[in-house]
Amino acid sequence: MGRLFGTDGVRGRANADLTPELTLAVAVAAAQTLAEQDRSHPPLAVVGRDTRASGEMLEAAVVAGLTSAGANVIRVGVLPTPGVAYLVGEAKADFGVMLSASHNPMPDNGIKLFAAGGHKLPDEVEMRIEAAVEANGAAGWQRPTGAGVGRVHDLLDGAEHYVQHLVGTVPHRLDGLKIVVDCANGAAAEVAPVAYQEAGAEVISIHAEPDGLNINDECGSNHLDALQAAVLEHGADLGIAHDGDADRCVAVAADGTEVDGDQIMAILALAMRDAGTLTQDTLVATVMSNLGLRLAMSAEGIRLIETKVGDRYVLEELRASGYALGGEQSGHVVLPAYATTGDGILTGLHLMSRVAATGRSLAELAAVVTKLPQVLINVPVADRTVGAGAPAVLGAVERAEAELGETGRVLLRPSGTEPLVRVMVEAPTVRVAQDVAERIAVEVRNASPVPA
């Protein structure tokens, strides 16, 4: 069996790659693995989902799998991924299961697992769950019967608890702000507008009518056109966009310009530094963050620590070192004082709180980061290792880095899921970045050509 888990759980086309049978098997293995250290009581799991139609089917499979393994289930229905993580901690549950494919299109779905406290699983635990799936399938497993079968409880006010938690974290109320929120026809639809209103903002919602089929459909954090138009139409102070499970947040300024995760992190880092809550004046981001973020933070006396791509690696660094802020350019932002994972609504609240507290526009605050032009070329290869590690490729990268000096950078990264090598170059101009990236891409293609 190949690896089940990718960079963010188990993901695939619902009812094709991600079948009810596989989902049930993962649920059983999760119950066996995540609750095996304490058998003094039945394991307790929190289960939530986003608005995808397939989530109803897969939720049934998860609940069946968990209860058949003797776990009790708190079913919370449609809720953002970070809301499920929060309730895992609040309920003192052994683990949590979220059914979502995040920003992916509707036909996809996924299984995200949380350990006790609402934390994402380390690689080692995911591998144990994979081994349990395989072992159960090969040899079967001993099922509980009678009173040993798990029970199911529906938590009807989980969203209210989550909203109260979010609003309670806001450093400065949002009174006087007029905002537009794009809910991506996803899990944010019932939660984000309420949270923003309760924090004091005047809220206009778009794409907040999920029907099971329209999640992420030309809306949300990956499709900002409608939000930009709505901000301009309504004369709003800013716009906030979430993805399907609301663990991302990107923004739009009053003039319609995008404010991405790098700029949001910079704004929050300065706010937290001023408040004395930015631990060791340090921000954690991935290697994909724009060089402009590093330069801006350096100018403000803030240290930037880089991790591998993926919010899980940001989370690991935050937990290991006790830092207070981290995230990704895509809009996954983590505030460990209030959340165990990236939380788009929490991020939106704290971003708008900074706008309200300073009286400055979002565009003015975002201008602290001058983003360098960035060019990304995905090069198809026969072998990712050869394509990224051949001497000719490494030589081309070394020459490019010497040419750019401190005015740019090169990032060469084999894809974790596709036969591609990603060549990313930042430079003072788009033309220079494009030229350097294409030169390196040629060497990558020559090192590992795809058979005709």
pLDDT tens profile 20-79: 999 999 999 999 999 865 567 899 999 999 999 999 999 999 999 999 999 999 999 999
Angstrom distance (rounded) from CA 32 to CA 41 = 13
Predicted local distance difference test score (pLDDT) of residue 311: 85
Can you give the C-alpha Rg of the chain in angstroms?
23
pLDDT band at 9 (very low <50, low <70, confident <90, very high): confident
Q: To the nearest whole percent, how much of the chain has pLDDT over 90?
A: 89
- pLDDT score recorded for residue 37: 58
> Does the pLDDT of residue 389 top 90, yes or no?
yes
Q: Which residues are annotated as a binding site?
A: 102, 243, 245, 247
Supply the pTM of this predicted model: 0.92
Q: Which domains does the chain have, with CATH numbers?
A: 5-156 (3.40.120.10), 161-366 (3.40.120.10), 374-447 (3.30.310.50)
Q: Is 311 in contact with 328 (CB distance < 8 Å)?
A: yes
pLDDT at position 276 is 97
Mean confidence (pLDDT) of the chain: 95
The model's confidence at residue 138, banded by pLDDT at 50, 70 and 90, is confident
For residue 422, the model assigns a pLDDT of 94
Residue 285 has pLDDT above 60, yes or no: yes
pLDDT for res 417: 65
pLDDT at 126 over 80: yes
Q: Catalytic positions, please?
A: 102
Using CA atoms, how far apart are residues 438 and 444, in angstroms rounded to an integer?
10
C-beta of residue 368 within 8 angstroms of C-beta of residue 269: no
Q: How would residue 122 be classed by pLDDT, with cut points 50, 70 and 90?
A: confident
Lowest-pLDDT range, 85-99, 123-137, 212-226, 241-255? Answer: 123-137
DSSP structural state of residue 116: G
Q: Are 167 and 143 in contact (CB under 8 A)?
A: no
Average confidence (pLDDT) over 355-369: 98
> Which pLDDT score is estimated for 36?
61
Residue 228's alpha-carbon distances to 74, 185, 373, 447, in angstroms, are: 38, 17, 22, 43
Annotated binding site for Mg(2+): 102, 243, 245, 247
Would you state the pLDDT for residue 227?
A: 98
pLDDT at 2: 55
Query: Per mean pLDDT, which range of 235-249, 311-325, 402-416 is the poorest?
Result: 402-416
Distance (Å, whole) CA 79 – CA 70: 24
pLDDT at 406: 86
Percent of the chain with pLDDT over 70: 98
Q: What is the pLDDT of residues 427-438, one digit of tens each?
A: 999 999 999 999
Could you write out the three-class secondary structure of 340-392? CCCCHHHHHHHHHHHHHHHCCCHHHHHCCCCCCCEEEEEEECCCHHHHHHCHH
**pLDDT at residue 312 greater than cutoff 90:** no
